[in-house]
Amino acid sequence: MSQFNHRAIWAIYRFELHRFSRTLLTGLLVPVITTSLYFVVFGGAIGSRMTQIDGVPYAAFIVPGLIMMSMFTESIFNASFGIYMPKFSGTIYELLSAPVSAVETVIAYVGAAATKSLAVGVIILITAHLFVDVQVDNPVAMAGFMILIAISFSLFGFIMGVWAQSFEQLQVIPMLLIMPMTFLGGAFYSIHMLAEPWRTITLFNPIVYLISGFRWTFFGHGDVGIEYSLLFIGVMLMVCLVVIGWIFRTGYRLKK
């Protein structure tokens, strides 16, 4: 049984984290400012009129949605940019010719992107405590859920980075698909507040299951059952792994 090339994994992982450290102040300051603005606008303006949702203060209710929204974006951006840059600069040929397997490459790039995403998620959670007292019913489940989300969307971002042939294409799915789906996925409200048929239509939004599952770890309940949230994450992980496996077997856009 072959062993992993730990030195190669660590080298790529450290390089990606070093790239993140060069913009550390911006990378951490932006989520803090954004979260603060959301609390001022949603927690202050809307929260003064909508005091509670399902027995949870509105300002606390939106915390899981804020964390998920940022983690979705960070995971996709970091993973896609990380693998796209070697393609753009031409250094992808050195990576493909090096004694580094596809599995080791994915572990390094996805691991680094997931680490950055988790750091942002923790920063937002800490920032949220400055505005509202957030009680977490199941901290272990919350941490596990954050890790699964970070890995899943980093894998998805890795696929995007391979698929993209320009910097503009890197922004298409996060800006035109993920962000709108997050806003319409119950990040700032409960889908039970919607009238039919919009409530049923919203259930076809996959982001609903992720935000609901994460909110369950905070408050012990969500818009959908936690089992459906876990099932969706499992399916997403499997699909992403299958697609990435196909990419390395066929060489799809790895050299373009």
Q: Give residue-wise pLDDT tens across range 188-236.
A: 889 988 888 989 999 999 999 999 999 999 999 999 999 999 999 999 9
Mean pLDDT over 90-98 rounds to: 86
pLDDT of res. 1: 42
User: Which of 19, 91, 121, 59 has the alpha carbon at shortest distance from 255?
Assistant: 91
Distance CA 36, CA 190 (A): 21
Residue pointed to by tokens 């010719």: 97
Distance CA 199, CA 218 (A): 23
pLDDT of res. 43: 66
DSSP letter (8 states) at residue 192: G
Confirm whether 88 is domain-assigned: yes
Cα torsion 87, 89, 91, 96 to 10°: value is 10
Cβ atoms < 10 Å from Cβ of 180: 12
Confirm whether 256 is domain-assigned: no
Confirm whether 255 is domain-assigned: no
Cα torsion 130, 133, 136, 142 to 10°: value is -20
- Split at pLDDT 50, 70, 90, the class of 153 is very high
Q: Which residues are 56's β-sheet partners?
A: 53
Cβ-proximal residues to 156 (8 Å cutoff; 6+ apart), any chain = 75, 76, 79, 236, 240
Confirm whether 1 is domain-assigned: no
The end-to-end CA distance of the chain, in Å, is 33
Cβ-in-10-Å burial (0-12, 13-18, 19+) of 28 comes to: middle
User: Which of 188, 197, 166, 184 has the alpha carbon at shortest distance from 81?
Assistant: 166
Confirm whether 85 is domain-assigned: yes
Distance CA 54, CA 60 (A): 11
Whole-model pTM over 0.85: yes
**Torsion region of 253: left, alpha or beta (phi above 0 gives left; psi -120 to 50 gives alpha):** left
Give the tens place of pLDDT for each residue, 186-200: 888 899 888 889 899
Which structural domain range is residue 44 located in? 6-250
- What does pLDDT average to over the chain? 88
Look at the chain and report how many structural domains it folds into: 1
Confirm whether 23 is domain-assigned: yes
